[in-house]
């Protein structure tokens, strides 16, 4: 039995192919709410205090190891996937100390740390413990048959259930606390005499129950924790449930999410209090949002950091950008990786910024492309300005000083340096450096031909 202070051990079964997902990606790598399913299980196990974690892998083992290369776990290879009982049996040598171990499923991503602790505590009061839930739609999960005394009689797989058994709403969540080495004796006796021809871990529990070993049923307070993922519909449900959970947590710390159903805020995203998130927003990856921000309808952000009090207007698309406090972005702004926007700057509609720094209070309000540029504090970039950063072979930088006024429709042919407080005349193609305080004009002199337009119209009869 686990003693206080003894290390908590978990074995995660993650070797299955998950054929019903019909995917080239190993099942446990499929993301839900922005994290691979297996990641969810490992995080919960760590926060339950598990120090030793063994993960049984097989199908796509190399890919799984690669994705989790930074993780301190013991990898156990199940070369042929002969069922959950066979999978756990492979971990026997990784489980050295006698006691109780958690056995978790890599495709049951909603499991909480609290449930794991409950399972461990319940196993102390019997021989083993398993999590069960009562579901309205138990689907393909194994059904838990209990006797009149409420004790486990047996677990039966959905595919092998009689109509009466299928009508049972009580399911096996695939989360257990099992005695070691005790359980391994039962695993050795397993036979593949079932429709799948597999060695079922559940049959080991059935055999133990039949021998009168007390197996505690831990009823999940939150039945969604039992949602196993076997197909894409299950995956979609788990994804939404995990998003919902994260949104609830954010709302509790003071974030307004106007329409949680239409909003996607992935698990690693942080949002400060008094920020308001409008419908249809997607906040993805390692995005962090400050306090008191407004993220309006349909904004899409991945790996973006946003300072306090910034407003991002509808349908702006930002990736890998760093926005300081009190900025105004959008509507319809496009910020690409390496866009760094200092405090109080404004980036307006149909403006694209790539790998560029905009200083404090800079304004780029309409229809511009700024790439590989540095724009000094207080400068104004007019409508239609383009940094011509690419000559077909290489990218070149544009440096714009402080309080510069770049007139509308200026083409800035890089490499180019524009000094502080300089100006460019609208419509100029500027290809030579502009000294501080100067005006750059590059356009032909205007001629007005008297009455030309009038004569033209008359001739055409218009």
- Closest-by-Cβ residue to Ca ion is 228
Nearest alpha carbon to residue 275 among 257, 299, 300, 298: 257
Segment interacting with ligand UD1, rule: CB under 6 A, options 76-84, 247-255, 286-294, 343-351: 76-84
> 3-state SS of the chain: helix, strand, coil percent to 5?
25, 30, 45
Segment interacting with ligand UD1, rule: CB under 6 A, options 80-88, 260-268, 294-302, 311-319: 80-88
Torsion-angle region of residue 191: left (phi > 0), alpha (psi -120 to 50) or beta?
beta
Site residues for Ca ion, 199-228, by CB under 5 A, read 228
Site residues for Ca ion, 107-146, by CB under 5 A, read 107
- In this chain, which of 34, 106, 309, 378 binds ligand UD1, going by CB under 6 A? 106
Asked if 106 is part of the footprint of Ca ion (rule: CB under 5 A), the reply reads no
Q: List residues with catalytic annotation.
A: 366
Q: In the block, which residue shows the tokens 């009061």?
A: 125
Asked if 42 is part of the footprint of ligand UD1 (rule: CB under 6 A), the reply reads no
Asked if 122 is part of the footprint of ligand UD1 (rule: CB under 6 A), the reply reads no
Mask of contacts with ligand UD1, 310-329, x by CB under 6 A? --------------------
Segment interacting with Ca ion, rule: CB under 5 A, options 103-111, 319-327, 388-396, 444-452: 103-111
HEC per residue, 9-45: EEEEECCCCCHHHCCCCCHHHCEECCEEHHHHHHHHH
Asked if 234 is part of the footprint of Ca ion (rule: CB under 5 A), the reply reads no
**Total residues at the site for Ca ion (CB under 5 A)?**
3
Asked if 201 is part of the footprint of ligand UD1 (rule: CB under 6 A), the reply reads yes
CA distance 358 to 339: 8
Cβ atoms of residues 103 and 74 within 8 Å? no
Asked if 26 is part of the footprint of Ca ion (rule: CB under 5 A), the reply reads no
Nearest alpha carbon to residue 197 among 89, 80, 83, 85: 83
Q: Interior CA angle at 186 toward 180 and 189, to 5°?
A: 145
- H/E stretch holding 190 reads none
Quick one: what does residue 14 bind among ligand UD1, Ca ion, none, with the CB cut-off 5 to 8 Å set by partner type? ligand UD1
CA distance 194 to 174: 18
Residues binding Ca ion (CB under 5 A): 107, 228, 230
Residues that bind ligand UD1 (CB under 6 A): 13-16, 27, 56, 78, 81-84, 86-87, 105-108, 141-142, 155, 157, 171-174, 200-202, 228, 230
């Amino acid at each position: 039995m686990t003693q206080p202070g003894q290390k908590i051990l978990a074995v995660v079964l993650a070797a299955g192919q998950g054929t019903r997902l019909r995917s080239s990606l190993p099942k446990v790598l499929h993301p839900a709410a922005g994290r691979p399913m297996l990641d969810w299980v490992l995080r919960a196990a760590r926060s339950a205090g598990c120090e030793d974690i063994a993960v049984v892998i097989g199908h796509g083992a190399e890919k799984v190891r690669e994705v989790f290369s930074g993780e301190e776990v013991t990898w156990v290879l199940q070369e042929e996937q002969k069922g959950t009982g066979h999978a756990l049996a492979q971990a026997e040598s990784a489980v050295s100390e006698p006691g109780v171990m958690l056995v978790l499923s890599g495709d049951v991503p909603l499991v909480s740390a609290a449930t794991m602790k409950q399972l461990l505590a319940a196993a102390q009061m019997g021989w083993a413990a398993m999590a069960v839930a009562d579901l309205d739609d138990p689907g393909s999960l194994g059904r838990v048959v209990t006797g009149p005394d409420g004790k486990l009689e047996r677990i039966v797989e959905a595919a092998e259930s009689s109509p009466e058994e299928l009508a049972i709403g009580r399911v096996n969540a695939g989360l257990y606390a099992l005695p070691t080495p005790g359980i391994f004796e039962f695993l050795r006796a397993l036979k593949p005499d079932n429709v799948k021809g597999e060695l079922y871990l559940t049959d080991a529990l059935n055999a133990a129950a039949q021998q009168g070993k007390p197996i505690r049923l831990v009823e999940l307070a939150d039945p969604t924790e039992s949602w196993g993922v076997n197909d894409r519909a299950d995956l979609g449900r788990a994804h939404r449930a995990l998003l919902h959970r994260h949104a609830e947590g954010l709302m509790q710390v003071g974030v307004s999410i106007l329409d949680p159903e239409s909003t996607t805020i992935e698990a690693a995203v942080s949002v400060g209090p008094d920020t308001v998130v409008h419908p249809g927003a997607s906040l993805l990856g390692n995005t962090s949002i400050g306090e008191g921000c407004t993220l309006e309808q349909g904004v899409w952000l991945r790996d973006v950091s946003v300072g306090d009090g910034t407003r991002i207007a509808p349908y702006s698309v930002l990736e890998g950008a760093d926005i300081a406090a009190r900025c105004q972005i959008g509507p319809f702004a496009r910020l690409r990786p390496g866009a760094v926007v200092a405090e109080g700057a404004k980036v307006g509609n149909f403006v694209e910024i790539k790998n560029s720094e905009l200083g404090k209070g800079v304004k780029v309000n309409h229809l511009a492309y700024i790439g590989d540029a540095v724009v000094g504090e207080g400068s104004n970039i007019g409508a239609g300005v383009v940094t011509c950063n690419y000559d077909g072979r290489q990218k070149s930088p544009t440096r714009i000083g402080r309080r510069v006024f770049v007139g509308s429709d200026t083409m800035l042919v890089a490499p180019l340096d524009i000094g502080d407080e300089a100006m460019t005349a609208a419509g100029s193609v500027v290809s030579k450096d502009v000294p501080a305080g100067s005006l750059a004009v590059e356009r032909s002199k205007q001629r007005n031909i008297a009455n030309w337009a009038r004569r033209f119209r008359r001739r055409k009869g218009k």
